[in-house]
Amino acid sequence: MKYSRRHSIKTFGKLSLGSMAFTPFMNHLAAQRTTGATPKRFLFVLKSSGLTEEHITPPAYRPFLESPVDKVIDKPLQSVALPETLTSLDPFKDKMTIVQRISGKMCATGHSGFYGALGAFKGSNTKKPIAHTIDGYLAKKFPSVFNHVGLKMGNGSESVAYPSISSAGGGKQLPYQCNPMIAYMNLFGSIAESGDVQKKYAASGNILDFVSNDVKKLKRQLNGAEAEKLDYYLEGFDALKERRIKLTGMQKILNQNAPEVTDTFTSPTPTHHLEAHFDLAAATLISGLSNSISILCDDLQTNYDGIGIPGTVHGIGHGATIGEHNSEQCRDLIRKFHLELLSGLMHKLAKVPEGDGTMLDNTVIVYLSDNSDKHHSFANEWPLLLFGGKFNGRLKSTGRYLQYPDYGKQGHRTIGNFLTTIVQAAGLPDKHFGHLDLGLSDLDQEGPLHELLV
């Protein structure tokens, strides 16, 4: 059944302001009815200590890694077996592309690429980001109640962390929630409220108005950097008020889709927290609370005691043997754990009908390391897994193994080209995302990975 713009306006006009005007779910439905468009969602899953290319390459294609490559290798995945640690992704082979031999030497190297993994620019944990990362950028372009949601496995004592991974723009570092119970209350807490949520939120909104007005008066008395700092406060007040208005119209949707609060949310074991974070991410996407989510699975001090690996990621990166497992076996177990959680999330999205397919069809998912391929990286290679949403047929991630020419050879591409691909697949006009590699000045570095675009 097709809907005209007039029919949609008439239909939605019958709904009350509180129940419709600020509800992302209804906005998506209205957009679908009037334009035929489906929502665009993005999930970035990052790990630390590198993602080595042979570990995500099907055994049948590993010979391609053993000799120099000077042209693009494009092979199907359907006819080959995945590596053992990727077998949980078998149901999604038709949506997956394994991307190999892109580089990222415009980013920081060593233990972490920091903002570079999602921004293609040099950053550090001691300086403010110089630009936006892709998750922060897409959050602005496809906003929702929470424009960006960051989730990170912590040590159990943290509530919020700033891991120098995501940015909303120059100097605007994005936070990551570490405690899954606190994250749950931030995202779904309104359905845990007793009494009339709309009245409570309206009252708190009035208080926020008073505070915001006082801050604006103070700002007029200041100049330069001090006034700029107040702008951040104002943005925070305005965002909080707007968010509370939106949430008042989402109680039914949130009740239907909120994750079950299990022992994983309150367990002292960090790996249980990561399980809870993936549950939260799935529920957040399905509820329409956010269209841009980043999950940082670990950092160098993380331990995976919950899956039988009590040593730190940093120690494993330096070759430590943990119990009966050598370092490579530990890395395999960690990667398998991550991808099983990711597979579970994808199964949940695949069960939700949307448009001519499912929510999974309209979600781009990327799994990569924050520092390319090795524990101490040089960023010559940045292996990753891409699961492509249809995005009206723009993104061509349909069960493929893609390996680009080696660093320095004609046709070689970078992490900036990959990020540009995601941006252009989403329908945005950016010519190139991130910085160029000055060491490749004799190559054409701008633009997307054309093999991934229709």
Is there a single domain that holds both residue 12 and residue 82? no
pLDDT confidence bin for 161, thresholds 50/70/90? very high
Instruction: Specify if 380 maps to a domain.
Output: yes
What mean pLDDT is predicted for residues 84-93? Answer: 98
Q: For Cα atoms 267, 112, 114, give the angle at the middle one, nearest 5 degrees.
A: 90
What mean pLDDT is predicted for residues 382-398? Answer: 88
Is there a single domain that holds both residue 33 and residue 146? no
Q: For Cα atoms 63, 69, 75, give the angle at the middle one, nearest 5 degrees.
A: 60
pLDDT confidence bin for 191, thresholds 50/70/90? confident
What mean pLDDT is predicted for residues 104-119? Answer: 97
Instruction: Specify if 341 maps to a domain.
Output: yes
> Given a cut of 50, is residue 2 above it in pLDDT?
no
Distance CA 148, CA 140 (A): 8
What mean pLDDT is predicted for residues 228-242? Answer: 56
Alpha carbon distances (Å) from 112 to 93, 161, 375, 399: 29, 16, 8, 29
Is there a single domain that holds both residue 80 and residue 4? no
What CATH number did the domain enclosing 338 receive?
Answer: 3.40.720
**Can you read off the two tokens belonging to residue 332?**
């395999």
| Pairing verdict, β 96-100 and 353-354 | unpaired
Is there a single domain that holds both residue 154 and residue 264? yes
**Can you read off the two tokens belonging to residue 437?**
């590699």
pLDDT confidence bin for 240, thresholds 50/70/90? low
Whole-number mean pLDDT of the chain? 86
> Given a cut of 70, is residue 107 above it in pLDDT?
yes
What mean pLDDT is predicted for residues 390-404? Answer: 89
Is there a single domain that holds both residue 11 and residue 67? no
Q: What is the pLDDT of residue 393?
A: 79
> Given a cut of 80, is residue 180 above it in pLDDT?
yes
pLDDT in tens, 440-449: 999 999 999 9
> Given a cut of 90, is residue 286 above it in pLDDT?
yes
- Domain count of the chain? 2
What mean pLDDT is predicted for residues 237-257? Answer: 73
Which residues have a Cβ under 8 Å from the Cβ of 218 and sit 6 or more positions away?
Answer: 230
Is there a single domain that holds both residue 298 and residue 313? yes
Instruction: Specify if 109 maps to a domain.
Output: yes
Please provide the size of the chain in residues.
Answer: 454
**Can you read off the two tokens belonging to residue 83?**
């590596």
Distance CA 101, CA 319 (A): 24
How far does the chain reach from its first CA to its final CA, in angstroms?
28
Distance CA 424, CA 449 (A): 10
Is there a single domain that holds both residue 25 and residue 96? no
> Given a cut of 60, is residue 9 above it in pLDDT?
no
- Give percent of the chain above pLDDT 90: 71
Is there a single domain that holds both residue 431 and residue 383? yes
> Given a cut of 90, is residue 189 above it in pLDDT?
no
Instruction: Specify if 130 maps to a domain.
Output: yes
Give backbone dihedrals phi and psi of 246, rounded to 5 degrees, phi first. Answer: -65, -40
Distance CA 448, CA 17 (A): 41
Instruction: Specify if 234 maps to a domain.
Output: no
Q: What is the pLDDT of residue 3?
A: 35
Instruction: Specify if 217 maps to a domain.
Output: no
**Can you read off the two tokens belonging to residue 248?**
């008042």
Is there a single domain that holds both residue 10 and residue 91? no
Is there a single domain that holds both residue 31 and residue 61? no
Instruction: Specify if 149 maps to a domain.
Output: yes
Considering only CA atoms, which of 313, 335, 333, 336 is closest in space to residue 324?
A: 333
Instruction: Specify if 244 maps to a domain.
Output: no
Q: Rg (Cα) of the chain, in Å, rounded? A: 22
Q: What secondary structure, in 3-state letters, does the chain show?
A: CCCCHHHHHHHHHCCCHHHHCCCHHHHHHHHHHHHCCCCCEEEEEEECCCCCHHHHCCHHHHHHHCCCCCCCEEEECCCCCCCHHHHHHHHHHHHEEEEECCECCCCCCECCCCCHHHHCCCCCCCCCCCCECHHHHHHHHCCCCCCCEEEECCCCCCCEECCCCCEECCCCECCEECCHHHHHHHHHHHHHCCCCHHHHHHHHHHHHHHHHHHHHHHHCCCCHHHHHHHHHHHHHHHHHHHHHHHHHCCHHHHHHHCCCCCHHHCCCCHHHHHHHHHHHHHHHHHHCCCCEEEEECCCCCCEEHHHCEEEEHHHHHCCCCECCECHHHHHHHHHHHHHHHHHHHHHHHHCCEECCEEHHHHEEEEEEECCCCCCCECCCCCCEEEECCCHHHCECCCCEEEECCCCCCCCCCEHHHHHHHHHHHCCCCCCCCCCCCHHHCCCCCCCCCHHHEC
Is there a single domain that holds both residue 292 and residue 389? yes
Is there a single domain that holds both residue 281 and residue 151? yes
Residue range(s) defining the domain that contains residue 107: 39-192+250-452
